[in-house]
Structure 1
Amino acid sequence: MSDLDNEVVFITGGGSGLGLALIERCLEEGARVATLELSAAKVAQLQQRFGERVVAIQGNVTCYEDYQRAVDSIITRFGRLDCFIGNAGIWDHNASLLATDPRQLSRGFTELFNVNVLGYLLGAKACADALIASEGSMIFTLSNAAWYPGGGGPLYTASKHAATGLIRQLAYELAPKVRVNGVGPCGMASDLRGPQALGQDDKRIMDSLTPENVAAILPLQFFPQAADFTGPYVMLASRRNNRALSGVMINADGGLAIRGIRHVAAGLDL
């Protein structure tokens, strides 16, 4: 028996990176899957790759009407919804307070919070009734920046801290019917982009980082792939494995919490 047999999972940002890895893993676990993806080209790729196995809808997570259209399509196709995974996001490429123009800072804040926080809130609103009916769950993608400074600039770090508050509040409001949790991955191979307001909409996270740099700061000393983070999502979504966790945030940080981000073990024969 797979952990998500016949469950219906709705994932945002499923066209690449972690979102795509989650689609693949959920299908492996027996789920029926839908995604809301901003890029029309990525939607076409998903439709070509998965066919009828995945409902791929083009839309923007900052638009409630796009969410509602997606949820309506899911209910029409599958008759229910069991798990909403809010995953779509943008990064600020470590844009610092001192080096960022005040006007860019203001516009960047609006754009980044609209995607990273409002996008989660609108998704939760659109999915709430269906998840209450199924007694399902919500899971939101966080980041090591939800716990530590240095995983982004002040805009990104603040947005991920805001998302932790949203998770706690939604877990409180939607109990006992809906479990609401989060997963905070560290750096990984991804197509994650930045805000247009900062001139970063065509800049990917791997344009700022290298696999060697990411591996060097992690105590586990490896460069994660997106698929390496899918396990906690499956566990939190699974009715068999998770009846007791809500308001919980799993810090999948490659071991950063054991010694912080600055010190790298050296001279140890492990």
Structure 2
Amino acid sequence: MRGHAGPQSRRWRETGVCGTRREGHLDEASRKTVLITGASRGIGAATARAFAAQGARVALVARSREALSELAGELGEAALAIPCDVSRYWEVAAAVDATVKTFGRLDVLVNNAGVIAPIAPFGQTDPEAWAKTQEINVTGVYHGMRAAWEVMIGQAGGGTILTVSSGAASRPLEGWSAYCASKAAAAMLTRSADLEGRALGIRAIGLSPGTVDTDMQGDIRDSGIGAISQMARSEHIPPDWPARALVWLAGPGGDEHLGQEVSLRDPAIRAAAGLGA
């Protein structure tokens, strides 16, 4: 759903509804305010549930008003739904403003919104679709970082910027020129944010989750291009794995990974995040 974020935001306060929250037994995510882009489904929705289950307040950002409303209703009073197009800076800035106005601060930004199309041989890609991928996957990440920057450096405790990355950031894949280029650029944004923001109290980290069983994998399968399109659904990890890893990175576990791309394919990272082998 497109349009200015501020007037469209809505807070849910359904008593007793907030995942598995238990007062007195909350971990490092407790009472943090987390803004998640691409929150309406897949990794984004799973991440919202994971943070809310630990007592965090979550601002849900995506274009789909209906899907956001459903998720916010599920999460209850800790959720703020903000329809927003991340490729438009003024909408992202309004979403950050609405989050701070509602919850008082912004502790964690999760840059998750992204698209993979067009998947096509280089010479058959549509230039407009290719450029749109960069607007969402690169400029959208920058918009989130830029809008959150002054808020985070101006508050006690600073803030954390987590960006969902990909192995495609470091190697080309057949038919994925748009996606690979965008993820490489987003990875450099993480490094740039760390270089300039660490001394100011900003922690910037990228998470490369590997292949995840989301709607995006359906698009990849439908393309029939490359080895990943031939993988069975059972070979992909569930969305709650990267979600739980993001919660872990938002806490002290992320301190040794600042400015890096953390790979969820690494058994040591999975173990540290409390995930399976």
Please say whether Structure 1 and Structure 2 have the same fold, judged by a TM-score greater than 0.5: yes
- Hey, what does 2:138 align to over in structure 1? 117
Classify the secondary structure of the residue corresponding to 1:118: helix
Between structures 1 and 2, the one with greater helix share: 2
Classify the secondary structure of the residue corresponding to 1:183: strand
Q: CA deviation at 1:245?
A: 3.0
Quick check: 2:118–2:178 contact (8 Å CA) kept in 1?
Answer: no
- Hey, what does 1:228 align to over in structure 2? 241
Aligned ranges for residues 231-246 of structure 1 at < 5 Å?
A: 231-238=244-251, 240-246=252-258
Which stretch shows the higher mean deviation, 23-32 or 90-99? 90-99
Q: Does 1:191 align with 2:191?
A: no
Quick check: 2:112–2:163 contact (8 Å CA) kept in 1?
Answer: yes
Classify the secondary structure of the residue corresponding to 1:182: strand
Query: Using the alignment, how far apart are the partners of 2:210 and 2:250 within structure 1?
Result: 20
Aligned pair in 2 of structure 1 residues 54, 208: CA closer, same or farther (>3 Å)?
farther
Q: CA deviation at 1:92?
A: 2.3
Quick check: 2:40–2:71 contact (8 Å CA) kept in 1?
Answer: yes
- Hey, what does 2:261 align to over in structure 1? 249
Q: Which residues of structure 2 form unaligned runs of 5+?
A: 1-25, 268-277
Aligned ranges for residues 26-41 of structure 1 at < 5 Å?
A: 26-41=51-66
Once the two structures are superposed, residues 69-127 of structure 1 have per-residue CA deviations (whole angstroms, 9 ceiling, x without a partner) of 11111111111110101000000253121333xxx1x2122100000000000110110
Query: Using the alignment, how far apart are the partners of 2:250 and 2:170 within structure 1?
Result: 22
Partner letter of residue 186 of structure 1? G
Q: Which residues of structure 1 form unaligned runs of 5+?
A: 194-202, 256-270
Which stretch shows the higher mean deviation, 87-96 or 123-132? 87-96
**Given the two structures, how large is their TM-score scaled by the length of structure 2?**
0.78
Quick check: 1:145–1:152 contact (8 Å CA) kept in 2?
Answer: no
Query: Using the alignment, how far apart are the partners of 1:249 and 1:144 within structure 2?
Result: 9
Q: Does 1:214 align with 2:235?
A: no
Once the two structures are superposed, residues 186-234 of structure 1 have per-residue CA deviations (whole angstroms, 9 ceiling, x without a partner) of 22221339xxxxxxxxx84454479994359xxxx83211112223212
1:156 to 165, 179, 203: 179
- Hey, what does 2:69 align to over in structure 1? 44
- Hey, what does 2:159 align to over in structure 1? 136
Query: Using the alignment, how far apart are the partners of 1:243 and 1:223 within structure 2?
Result: 28
Classify the secondary structure of the residue corresponding to 1:189: coil
**Given the two structures, how large is their TM-score scaled by the length of structure 1?**
0.80
Which stretch shows the higher mean deviation, 17-26 or 229-238? 229-238
Classify the secondary structure of the residue corresponding to 2:115: coil
Query: Using the alignment, how far apart are the partners of 1:252 and 1:151 within structure 2?
Result: 22
Q: CA deviation at 1:64?
A: 1.3
Query: Using the alignment, how far apart are the partners of 1:186 and 1:208 within structure 2?
Result: 19
Partner letter of residue 87 of structure 2? T
Quick check: 1:93–1:205 contact (8 Å CA) kept in 2?
Answer: no
Q: How many residues align?
A: 237
Q: What is the RMSD computed on CA atoms of the aligned residues?
A: 2.5
